Amino acid sequence: MSKAVRSLVFYSLFAFSLSALAADSSATLAGQWKLSMSAPRGTTEGTLTLQQDGNKLTGKYKGPRGESPVTGNVDGDSVSFNMEFKARRTVTIAFTGNLDGDKMSGTFAPQGGGGRHNRGGNGNQGSRTWTATRQQANSASQDAN
């Protein structure tokens, strides 16, 4: 009977370990990323700094036109986040994409009709592409000093 009990305990612990791994299957995005966005007038680059609490993302984007708060979610390797830019009016830009190691990529589009007043187009900028690369801490320069 003790052999049966040991087997039961072993398989129970094994099953528990697998369920714990499955429950924490979301990728870790916390840290600093170099974000590149295609735009009608070329590529825009900036720094995306993310914090992660479970599946919830928060942080900020810092680029040529200032800073923007970032909120979003991660589900497995799928990521979605929003940036909110304030100028004459507030514009929210929605990003969706996938994580592959230390790189992310996907599409983004302004929300709520976005775009400028009919300047040779329909006013809607449509979806554009983006990529991001995780920035590693520069320990090599610290070691050289």
pLDDT tens per residue, range 89-140: 889 999 999 999 999 999 999 987 544 543 434 444 578 999 999 998 754 4
pTM of the model: 0.70
Smallest CA-to-CA distance from 93 within 75, 77, 72, 117 is with: 72
Question: What's the confidence (pLDDT) of residue 117?
Answer: 43
CATH tag, 31-135? 2.40.128.120
Question: What's the confidence (pLDDT) of residue 97?
Answer: 98
Over residues 43-50, mean pLDDT: 96
Question: What's the confidence (pLDDT) of residue 123?
Answer: 44
The highest-confidence range among 22-26, 68-72, 125-129, by mean pLDDT, is 68-72
